[in-house]
Amino acid sequence: MTEHRAPNLLDARRRHRRALLGRPKFWLSFFGAAAVAALVVGAVAAAPLAIISIRVKAKAEAGSAAIVAAAEAAKQLNISEAIAKFGEGEIALGAARRELAMLFAFAAVPWIGDRIETADRTLAAGQAAATIGRDTLSVVGDVVSAAAASDETRSRILSSLPDAADILRDLPEERRRAMLAALDRGAPEIRAALETSSAALGELAGVADADLPESLRASVAELRRKLTTLHAVLKAVEPAAAVLPRLLGYPEGHTYLFFLENSTEMRPTGGFLGTFGIVTVKDAAIGRLETHDVYAIDGPSEATPRPKPPAPLVKYLGVDKWYLRDANWSPDFGVSAAQMERFFVEEAGVAWGPDKVPHLDGIIAVTPEIAQDLLRFLGPITIDGQKFTADNLVDALEYRVEIGYAKAGIPAHQRKEILAKLVDEVARRLTALPVSELLAVVGLIERNLNEKQILLAMKDTDVERLVLDRDWGGALAHVAGDYLSVIDANMAALKTDSVMTRSIRYAVTPDAGGYVATAAVTYENKGGFSWKTTRYRTYTRVYAPSGSTLIGVSGAMEDDKLKDPKRRAGKADVYQELGRTAFGAFIAVEPGEKRTLEFRYRLPASIGQEIAIGGYRLDVEKQPGTVAVPLTLDIDFGKKLSSAEPGEEPKEHKDSHYRLRTDLRTDRHFEVRF
């Protein structure tokens, strides 16, 4: 229908035949907003602007009527009629814009030009609403048609009746496959729908209330709110639609190696690799799903040659062989995932036999945060008489697999079987969710991906590209400007991270040689000596821009109080890796103590050169598995700031410092201008 659209319509509103599979009730409520949009544009066209022709008014009113009819048809689940009516509305509003374009010769006339532009922008937003309404319904219809064997089944799914989830879960393989195929075909169109909503919001952003009749201002405001909500939904669902078909085994089945990283025993990519599992999926159906204690394959490999571990593991863990449990030493998950896969294949080959080692299509790592979020959503789960909730999950599981299994008479090699049962029940409940709740689960998963509580490394190059583009792969970012990432590795300190608080302070000061950075990490051990917690022992690495040079370290220790009663000062190690300079040192914190580990280093000349020409950029990347670690910045540039993003508190303005307190719930980016 491109020939019917106004020639100056933004490229983002290109044709797309299919869009979002989402909550039907949400879309039905949005269609009401589309009707509001049409009424608004009709009213604008009919407003007392003498310059606007009768033809514009007539076409806008025709578009309004078509969209109202489309919304009503959608409510009655008459999808084909609703699609047709939305199409009519889009054409009519496009025609109204072309008629209005004939008046652009008067755009330079004061007052009149503003009204013409306002009318055009509002018409454009209404036209976009009609386009999205038509195309989203088209995809909903396509996907539901792929699932439904009858009109009755289709109606039940669209209505989100309680048994709709059972219908979808029990679909035969060919219908599940057809649904995934429809969603896969629609993924590019979902991106186009997202761009269309952005364009519509851009049009409305240029509509000033002063240029609207007072009677229409509330309606335009409502249209803005509805389009903003729609944009947020599309933004949340678009990435899932792009990867879900492939992740769920379409068009080929996949096998994934997954790890439950225990963040109460922090390691570089989020936690200790105590439990791993294998899951196979094809056409959205889970086949094999099993979990194992990592020692079940580490143990049989003790008699075989193994690589030598990184030096800090040798020194502070006292090990001379490198096993799967310690494979996630690199803070870049892509690097660690390759190591994890290699060690799994080697050790599983020893423990199970080479012919029983599956081909892997990807590595997935999750921390307890996602499990807690899922339990908040799904509700408590009882396994073997024990009730697990979001609040007690971590502590209850820790006790069960460390202490409770022996009291219950469970053999040590079976102590983690409860994890398998818990994973099975979570998977069962997720697949039993009604359609209307799936969007909330998608949002929950996306949030955990953004907060690095889920990390992915995929063999499919298209999926991996999307994973890396959205920073879901735990890769250290390639950025220009200043950079900081603090990475902890628990060195035989039990589960003491569960009682530790940490905070990061980053300061930069000018001197005659350029700029000196100070990265300080303060640890407080709020625990005691027990089966679960002890003195905290961590090997900490600070990643800085390549070319940084170490000046000194304070707070570093040779070893802990038990192994080095004199508590001698330690030295810092210097690395060049992952395109950066890194400094590493050991520190131990007794229960009840608070200690700070501080690295001072000179930033490379490029940072000073950037400041000299008027700008400064800083990226701070969080460690996976951590939750909102406090971050304090105090950066002295030696000259006054003109602007900063994020902005400082007003009391901090008008000096040479950039001071800010925030946290690392997600990665942070800062920019300063002079």
Question: What pLDDT score does 545 carry?
Answer: 98
Q: How many CB atoms lie within 10 A of CB 6?
A: 19
Q: Residue 288 pLDDT more than 90?
A: no
- Of 137-141, 146-150, 323-327, give the lowest mean pLDDT range: 146-150
Q: What are 306-343's pLDDT values in tens digits? A: 999 999 999 999 999 999 999 999 999 999 999 999 99
Closest CA to 500 of 529, 522, 530, 531: 522
- pTM for this predicted structure: 0.77
For 498, the token pair is: 């569960």
> Domain check: are 441 and 541 in the same one?
no
Q: Which helix (H) or strand (E) is 429 found in, with range?
A: helix 417-431
Q: What is the pLDDT of residues 524-545, one digit of tens each?
A: 999 999 999 999 999 999 999 9
- Please report whether residue 95 resides in a domain: yes
200, 227, 247 - which closes a domain: 247
Residue type, 311: A
At residue 39's C-alpha, the angle toward residues 37 and 42, to 5°, is 110
Running DSSP on this structure, what letter comes out for residue 69? Answer: H
Cβ partners under 8 Å of residue 232, min gap 6: none
**Number of structural domains, the chain?**
3
Q: What are the CA-CA distances from residue 206 to residues 45, 120, 209 (Å)?
A: 17, 10, 10
Do residues 343 and 288 make contact, with C-beta atoms less than 8 angstroms apart?
Answer: no
Domain with residue 491: its CATH number is 2.60.40
Cβ contact 559:586 at 8 Å:
yes
Query: For the ranges 410-419, 494-503, 514-523, 654-663, which has the lowest average pLDDT?
Result: 410-419
Residue 48: predicted pLDDT: 40
Q: Are 541 and 422 within one domain?
A: no
Q: Which domain holds residue 600?
A: 482-673
Report which residue type is found at 70: A
53 in a structural domain = yes
Q: What are the C-alpha distances in Å from 553 to residues 544, 585, 620?
A: 14, 8, 20
Residue 5: the pLDDT is: 38
3-state SS, 111-167, equals: CHHHHHHHHHHHHHHHHHHHHHHHHHHHHHHHHHHHHCCCHHHHHHHHCCCCCHHHH
pLDDT, tens digit, 9 for 90 and up, residues 174-210: 777 777 777 788 778 778 878 888 888 888 888 887 7
Q: Any idea what the CATH number is for the domain that residue 379 is in?
A: 3.40.630
First to last CA, the chain: 49
pLDDT score for 157: 54
Query: What tens digit of pLDDT does each residue of 426-446 get?
Result: 888 887 776 557 667 878 988
Domain end marker among 232, 247, 262: 247
Residue 475 lies in a domain: no
**What is the mean predicted confidence (pLDDT) over 142-170?**
54
pLDDT at position 188, please? 81
SS (H, E, C) 570-598: CCCEEEEECCEEEEEEEEEECCCCEEEEE
- Cα(266)–Cα(297) distance, rounded to whole angstroms? 21
- Give the phi and the psi of residue 411 in degrees, each rounded to 5: -60, 150
Is 424 within the bounds of a domain?
Answer: yes
Task: Say if residue 352 is in the same domain as residue 492.
Answer: no
Higher-pLDDT residue of 12, 278: 278
Domain match, 308 and 357 both:
yes
Q: Are residues 240 and 264 in the same domain?
A: no
Say if residue 134 is in the same domain as residue 277.
Answer: no
Q: How far apart are CA 266 and CA 625, in angstroms?
A: 8
> Is residue 230 within 8 Å of 155, Cβ to Cβ?
no
pLDDT higher than threshold 50 for residue 50 = no
293 with 422, same domain: the answer is yes
Greater confidence (635 vs 386) lies with 635
Contacts of residue 432, defined as CB under 8 A and 6 or more positions apart, other chains included, come to 165, 166, 169
Domain match, 516 and 555 both: yes
Segment 556-567 mean pLDDT = 95
Residue scoring higher pLDDT (8 or 398): 398
Last residue of a domain, one of 213, 229, 247: 247
Q: What percent of the chain has pLDDT over 90?
A: 48
pLDDT score of 249: 84
DSSP bridge pairs for 618: 482, 670
In Å, what is the CA distance from 186 to each residue of 19, 31, 168, 291? Answer: 6, 20, 19, 34
Are 364 and 344 found together in one domain?
A: yes
> Average pLDDT, whole number, for the chain?
84
pLDDT of residue 473: 95
Please say whether the beta carbons of 601 and 585 come within 8 A. Answer: no
DSSP 3-state of 612? helix
**Is residue 458, in this structure, part of any structural domain at all?**
yes
pLDDT given for residue 2 in this prediction:
36
> Mean of the pLDDT values across residues 108-136?
78
Nearest Cα to Cα of residue 273 among 414, 395, 441, 455: 455
Q: How far is 435 from 34, CA to CA, in rounded Å?
A: 23
Under the banding of pLDDT at 50, 70 and 90, the label for residue 217 is: confident
- Based on the fold, state whether residues 182 and 235 are members of the same structural domain: yes
What pLDDT score was predicted for residue 41? 45
**Does 462 share its domain with 495?**
no
d(CA 602, CA 571): 17
- pLDDT, position 430: 82
Answer yes or no: is 474 within a domain. no
Token pair, residue 122, equals: 């509002």
CA distances from 172 to 186, 283, 301 (A): 22, 10, 42
Vertex 648 angle, CA 645 and 650, to 5°: 135
Report the pLDDT value the prediction gives residue 406, as an integer from 0 to 100: 83
Q: Is the pLDDT of residue 56 over 80?
A: no
pLDDT of residue 43: 46
pLDDT band of residue 120 (cuts 50, 70, 90) is: confident
Of the pLDDT bands very low, low, confident and very high (cuts 50, 70, 90), residue 149 is low
In a domain, 476, yes or no: no
On whether the CB atoms of residues 36 and 42 are closer than 8 A, the answer is no
Cis amide leading into 630 (omega within 30) = no
- Examine residue 357 and state whether it is found in any structural domain, yes or no: yes
Q: Which of 393, 434, 404, 97 is nearest to 264 (CA)?
A: 393
**pLDDT at residue number 15:** 40
Quickly state the pLDDT bin for 17 (edges 50, 70, 90): very low
* Residues 331 and 192 placed together within one structural domain of the fold: no
- pLDDT, residue 152, reads 54
- pLDDT band, residue 484 (cuts 50/70/90): very high
